[in-house]
Chain A
């Protein structure tokens, strides 16, 4: 089974900051990685698929990079609506899993 280690678990930042979240896979998943954003009481929303492809309608301040076992999600300039929890999700093989989540908080 593929284990994902996501860091940090909590991130405090200010509007306008550039932030990066990292996920490390226990084995290579090539580029089969997605990033989801979840706000309290809501279902997750996909931001990035195939490690670096931006889902339609997602603002360009979100970007993803990486391949193999190391992946990052970057938000170039935080907006108030970006404060949420983010999950990485490998989907190369079963059983699927998710990273533990990163809660992005307002500093």
Chain B
């Protein structure tokens, strides 16, 4: 079955960077986009960007342009999201999600809590 397994919780200081991994299995990794969505505590969902694992193309929301980098390693079917220059308001659960046949998110990772605090 399709699985997306994310790396564990992180605590970072302001100004640092964090890199979250999303290891996939159960499907052809290069066949479907991986998106990243975050959710601040008690808040709604916020889309960050995607990667096409087939050709490494990426797209980011302008809000994070320059601070977020999404990459992939096809040899281990894993996508990564790195966020730099962290601020306290970057504290959130970060999710990876796979798009399906109809371009909606049909499978999600379990989420990774990133806490930014001095």
Q: Smallest distance from the beta carbon of B113 to chain A beta carbons, Å?
A: 10
Q: Does B56 contact A (CB under 8 A)?
A: no
CA distance A34 to B101 in the complex (A): 13
Instruction: Classify the interface of chain A: helix, strand, loop or mixed.
Output: loop
Chain A residues contacting B111 (CB-CB under 8 Å) are: 43
Chain A residues contacting B106 (CB-CB under 8 Å) are: 46, 55
In the complex, how many residues of chain B place their beta carbon closer than 8 angstroms to a beta carbon of chain A?
A: 19
Q: How big is chain A's contact interface, by range?
A: 20 to 34
Chain B residues contacting A94 (CB-CB under 8 Å) are: 59, 61
Q: Smallest distance from the beta carbon of B43 to chain A beta carbons, Å?
A: 9
Q: Does B103 contact A (CB under 8 A)?
A: yes
Of B44, B103, B108, B110, the contact of A87 (CB 8 Å cutoff): B44
Contact call B109/A95, Cβ cutoff below 8 A: no
Of B35, B44, B104, the contact of A101 (CB 8 Å cutoff): B44
Contact call B62/A53, Cβ cutoff below 8 A: no
Given known pairs A94-B59, A95-B61, the reply for A44 and B102 (CB within 8 Å) is no
B4 closest partner in A (C-beta)? A43
Most buried by B among A32, A46, A55: A46
